[in-house]
Amino acid sequence: MTWLVTGANGQVGHALVQAAPSEVIGLDRAALDITDAEAVRRAIAARAPDAVINAAAYTAVDRAEAEPEIAFAVNRDGAANLADACAAVGIPLLHISTDYVFDGTKAAPYTEDDAPNPLGVYGQSKWEGEEAIRDRFDQHIILRTAWVFGAHGTNFVQTILRLAREREALRIVADQHGHPTPAAAIAEALLHIARGVCAQQGQWGTYHFAGQPPTTWHGFAKAIVAEARAHEPLAVQTLEPIDTTAYPTPALRPLSTLLDTTRISEAFGLTMPDWREELRRIVVEG
Ligand SMILES: NC(=O)c1ccc[n+]([C@@H]2O[C@H](COP(=O)([O-])OP(=O)(O)OC[C@H]3O[C@@H](n4cnc5c(N)ncnc54)[C@H](OP(=O)(O)O)[C@@H]3O)[C@@H](O)[C@H]2O)c1
């Protein structure tokens, strides 16, 4: 079986290519721009994959507030282009979405049936991308995940490692709760689901997939620093916990986006990854 992966140079796209190089046809943005509907159709026709996995996205949460037209072109219209092209040739589309479709005010973990209410352009564009896929055809999987990190690309782990080497004191937001989730684990889950749904059909829909245990950005930063300090000397001495209000950003962020992952575990027999294991691997291996 072959899977065509868009956004192959992103965190999850790269992890998909690494996880299954013989099954994955990875196309980065230069090879396939998902905002170009005709190019999307041509790429799928030429490669004839068994399914498409969309790992391409506009993920700059703050910058999206200043350039909403680009965020919507990629996250909503790009998703629609892929759904149209997959529907036309009758193959499934696996798509990744985000906990930022929620407003973060729910006291309990969000289920897939909870109503979205994005706080910013990024979350809104991702929500409209989900809806564009649902409107077009049933043969889709939408995997909502959170706080993605890995060895490849720009993410919170890489940022904290850099700052911890440079500065004695860091101030980190401690009142936003979420799930750090390894890109490699998302890739493995998508491949597992792709193999399953393509063989059996019938489990289409939206699922939550999230690393465990949930934490705050401050808790995540503490774990990163502790892990790194075991392997190298660091400049950082204090990690000051601060509230979101003390760190204003162009985009509002949801305060608590804990995700209920019961549905994906029951449907596909998946165990949620412990993000601390992947963090250790990244810090040790670089
Ligand atoms: N990062 C997170 O914390 C997070 C959290 C929750 C959900 N997600 C979702 O998880 C998925 C994967 O995220 P990620 O962290 O792997 O993102 P990423 O590292 O930013 O990768 C996204 C990739 O998409 C590419 N891309 C952008 N516009 C494109 C276009 N028009 N056509 C084709 N490719 C395009 C980017 O290319 P360039 O490098 O050239 O820009 C980049 O390689 C996304 O759907 C994202 O919304 C991410």
Say if ligand 1 is within 6 A of residue 40 CB: no
Mean pLDDT across the stretch 201-229? Answer: 95
Which residue among 11, 28, 99, 102 is best mutated to probe the pocket of ligand 1, counting the most ligand atoms within 8 A of its Cβ? Answer: 11
pLDDT: is 285 or 263 the higher one? Answer: 263
Q: Three-state SS across the chain?
A: CCEEEECCCCHHHHHHHHHCCCCEEEECCCCCCCCCHHHHHHHHHHHCCCEEEECCCCCCCCHHHCCHHHHHHHHHHHHHHHHHHHHHHCCCEEEEEEHHHCCCCCCCCECCCCCCCCCCHHHHHHHHHHHHHHHHCCCEEEEEECCEECCCCCCHHHHHHHHHHHCCEEEEECCCEECCEEHHHHHHHHHHHHHHHHHHCCCCEEEECCCECCEEHHHHHHHHHHHHHCCCCCCCCEEEEECHHHCCCCCCCCCECCECCHHHHHHHCCCCCEHHHHHHHHHHHC
Q: Is 34 in the pocket of ligand 1 (CB under 6 A)?
A: yes
Domain range annotation of the chain: 3-154+180-212+259-273
pLDDT score for 196: 86
Of 58, 100, 110, 122, which residue is the catalytic one?
122
Q: What is the mean pLDDT of residues 176-193?
A: 97
Q: What is the pTM of this model?
A: 0.97
154 CA from centroid of ligand 1 (Å): 11
Q: Is 94 in the pocket of ligand 1 (CB under 6 A)?
A: no
CA of 221 to the centre of ligand 1 (A): 22
* For range 247-260, the mean pLDDT: 94
- Is 122 among the residues known to form the active site? yes
Q: Which CATH number fits domain 3-154+180-212+259-273: 3.40.190.80, 1.25.40.20, 3.40.50.720, 1.10.10.1400?
A: 3.40.50.720
The predicted-structure confidence for 11-43, as pLDDT tens digits, reads as follows 999 999 999 999 999 999 999 999 999 999 999
Q: With bands split at pLDDT 50, 70 and 90, how would you rate the model's confidence at 54?
A: very high
What spacing in Å lies between the alpha carbon of 75 and ligand 1's midpoint? 9
* pLDDT at position 202 over 90: no
Task: Compute the average pLDDT of residues 178-207.
Answer: 90
Q: Which atom of ligand 1 is nearest to the CA of 9?
A: 43
Taking residues 238-267, report their average pLDDT: 94
